[in-house]
Structure 1
Amino acid sequence: MKFKRAPLIAYLCLLPILLVLGIWQLNRAEEKRVLISLKQQRQSTEILVLSATMPDTPEAHLYKPIKAIGHYDNDHQYLLDNQVNKGRAGYFVLTPFLLKNENKAVLVNRGWLPLGKSRSGLPDIPVDSREITLNGRINHFPTVGLKLAGAEIPTDSWPAIVQVVDTHVLAKQLGYPLFSFQVELDKHADEGFTREWHETLAMTPEKHIGYAVQWFLLALTLTVLFVKYGINKKHD
């Protein structure tokens, strides 16, 4: 049995790629299953009381419900730019929440607001600075696909606009330390804006499996085509 050179080279190059892509999608499906299980487990756990002595390890507390006693810093708030909701551009409102009797704060994501008619007109985001008990859940800050140089530097005026959250940079501007995670304000809490915290993943495990099946079917199709057209049927 002899193989045609060009089809053989193409087959040997493409088949491993298709198989690797299929296996990668299966691995991603398993990662999503673990993430869903973790989220469900932690959201059903006992409410965590936020304090300055708590280890600042976001992964250990991700998705956990929390409560905190303290007050908002009404004078210093951030607008996280380039946040899209249902096709509209806008901001997430991040307000520092100072813990009672402790020199530490956490940024509370109070929700999404749309852009005004122009970027020069910033939204009005007042908040009561009296002592309250805050309820929410711990999560990472929103990320960007491509981080530009200086994106973590906020503007000088308040509310300050920032493209990417770096809590070390913001803490220097505020003058007090910040936790490295955000608290997403409870949907039923007062003084919030549009809060549609993502309860579902952008891509479910089932969709990853569907893509894996497609890659494996392409590998099978490639093999059938190679057998049909890549083998010399005449022997010298």
Structure 2
Amino acid sequence: MIKVTQKKNIKSPLLKIVGIIFLFVLSITCVKLAFWQIDRGDEKDSIYKNYVNSLNKEAAFITKLADSYEDFTPIKIKGLFIKDKQYLLDNQVYNKKAGYDVLTPLVVSDEVVLINRGWVFNNDRTKIPDISIESISTEVRGYVYTYKNAFVLEADTFNTAWPKTIQSINHNQFKAHFDKKLKPYVIIMSDKQNESYIIREKYKTNEKLKHYMYAGQWIIFSLIGFYLCLFLIRSSFWIKEK
């Protein structure tokens, strides 16, 4: 009986030390996650403000496209649609319905840029929606946007058929489909115009508050962790004093 009691006495302080270290590390991690969410909120706030400001600016008419622009730069161009080479960006949601964003290449000054012509609904996955173009020569009003690399379960594989259904926008893959230089961004139509479909708002709301709320939750978790650390430390000293 004496030996068992000694083992318990040895293990008890050790377990408390391990518990204190674990809670401390966990609390620090929660603090870091809180600051990360705050940074994300600030980033989303900046993106949303840039987007809203771009919609209120007058689009400049461009005859020669630059190799890069800031996201949401308003722009107006004129060119020729390549109507027989279009893409359907899959899994795009509008009013809780899944559909496609229609991406059509436009030739501007002997270069190609993809135009997001809007959203189309398709309730039959076995058929491709009709995205035919009537006016090849057209003027486009919109804003520049560079799509981020999205996580997909498998990479797109292409056959010879058009239009092509895609899961993400990969300009490195797409440039092989054209004999002209493809710009590394997309111009999204900003309003109803010739050859457009349903125009979706890229950002309907400012999501900064959501991230700030998450940050508040992580801070609360960290405070609970620090409190438990102090409780274990105080209880350890109290036991020693007894």
Under TM normalisation by the shorter chain, which class is it? 0.7 to 0.9
Cα distance in 2, alignment partners of residues 37 and 87 from structure 1? 25
Aligned to 1:12: 24
Q: Is the contact made by 2:79 and 2:107 (CA closer than 8 Å) also made in structure 1?
A: yes
1:18-60 alpha-carbon deviations (Å, 9 max, x no partner): 11111111222222233233334444444233333x3211xx3
- Paired residue for 2:88, among 66, 71, 79? 79
Decide whether the 8 Å contact of 1:155 with 1:162 is kept in 2: no
Amino acid at match of 1:211: Y
Match of 1:56 among 62, 67, 71: 67
Within the alignment, does 1:115 sit opposite 2:122 as a pair? Answer: yes
Alignment match, 2:240: 235
Is this contact kept in 1: 2:152–2:168, CA < 8 A?
Answer: no
Q: How does 1:118-129 map to 2 (within 5 A)?
A: 118-119=125-126, 121-129=127-135
**5+ residue gaps, structure 2:** 1-12
In structure 2, distance between residues paired with 1:132 and 1:144: 30
Residue 222 in 1 paired to residue 225 in 2?
yes
TM-superposed CA distance for 1:75, in Å, is 2.0
1:173 maps onto 2:177 in alignment: yes
Q: Determine which structure has more spread, i.e. the larger CA radius of gyration.
A: 2
Q: 1:13 to 1:126 in 2, by over 3 A?
A: same
Contact between 1:154 and 1:163, CA under 8 Å: does it hold in 2? no
Q: Relative to total residues, which structure has the larger helix share, 1 or 2?
A: 2
The 3 A distance-change label for structure 1 pair 163 and 155 is farther
Aligned mates of 2:213, 2:46 — CA distance in 1: 18
Does the 8 A contact of 2:104 with 2:114 survive in 1?
Answer: yes
Q: Give the share of equivalent positions with the same residue, in percent.
A: 25
How far apart in 2 are the matches of 1:8 and 1:176?
63
1:208 to 204, 207, 211: 211
In the alignment, which residue of structure 1 is the partner of 2:3?
A: none
Q: Per the alignment, do residues 197 and 112 of structure 1 end up closer, same or farther by CA in structure 2, a change over 3 Å counting? A: same
Task: Name the residue aligned to 1:195.
Answer: 199
d(CA) in 1 for partners of 2:174 and 2:162?
13
2:102 aligned partner: 93
Q: CA deviation at 1:181?
A: 1.0
Query: Which amino acid letter does the alignment assign opposite residue 225 of structure 1?
Result: L
In structure 2, relative to structure 1, the CA distance for the partners of 1:204 and 1:195 (3 Å cut) is: same
Asked whether the 8 Å contact 1:73–1:129 carries over to 2, the reply is no
**Between Structure 1 and Structure 2, how many residues are aligned?**
226
Tell me by how many angstroms 1:227 deviates.
Answer: 2.7
Contact 1:70/1:98 (<8 A) preserved: yes
Code of the aligned partner of 1:32: K
1:7 to 1:61, Cα distance in 2 relative to 1, 3 A: closer
Q: Normalized against structure 1, the TM-score is what? A: 0.83
| Structure 1 residues without counterparts, runs of 5 or longer | none
Q: Tell me if the contact between 1:74 and 1:129 (Cα under 8 Å) persists in the aligned partners.
A: no
